[in-house]
């Protein structure tokens, strides 16, 4: 099966899993390559969103051939928890980054070794 024939198929579970995997891999690459704290936070958000897409895809009865195997609303509730967790993580991490920037005039993660207690 070629890539173009894959795109012409109706949207199914595999399409959502591919989008979730691409988001997850982009987040991992972003976390590994970025040197400032904002780039690392963006990578964490991409990883969490990739996981959330997969949870919703597995829980949707419309995307599965056999809806008996569906997770029901469990995937949607886990996704809501992921969204709340990501918002709290972003708020705390941005507060730490702003505090660090006010004292050191940089948010480079390589220079954060002096925060060791």
Give the pLDDT of residue 27: 94
Better-predicted residue by pLDDT, 113 or 28: 28
Look up tokens 């690392």; give the residue.
Answer: 40
pLDDT of residue 64: 59
Instruction: Give this prediction's pTM.
Output: 0.74
Q: What is the CATH number of domain 12-62+70-109?
A: 1.10.287.3510
Is residue 25's pLDDT more than 60?
yes
Q: Is 115 helix (H, G, I), strand (E, B) or coil?
A: helix
Q: What is the pLDDT of residues 36-49, one digit of tens each?
A: 878 888 899 999 99
Percent pLDDT > 70 in the chain is: 77
């Amino acid at each position: 099966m070629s890539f173009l024939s894959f795109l012409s198929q109706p949207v199914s579970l595999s399409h959502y899993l591919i989008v979730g995997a691409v988001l997850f891999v982009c987040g991992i690459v972003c976390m590994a390559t970025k040197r400032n704290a904002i780039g690392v936070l963006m990578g964490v958000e991409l990883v969490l969103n990739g996981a959330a897409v997969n949870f919703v895809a597995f829980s949707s009865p419309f995307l599965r051939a056999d809806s008996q195997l569906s997770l029901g609303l469990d995937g949607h509730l886990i996704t809501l928890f992921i969204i709340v967790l990501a918002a709290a993580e972003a708020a705390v991490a941005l507060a730490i980054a702003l505090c660090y920037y006010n004292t050191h005039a940089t948010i480079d993660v390589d220079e954060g070794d002096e925060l060791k207690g």
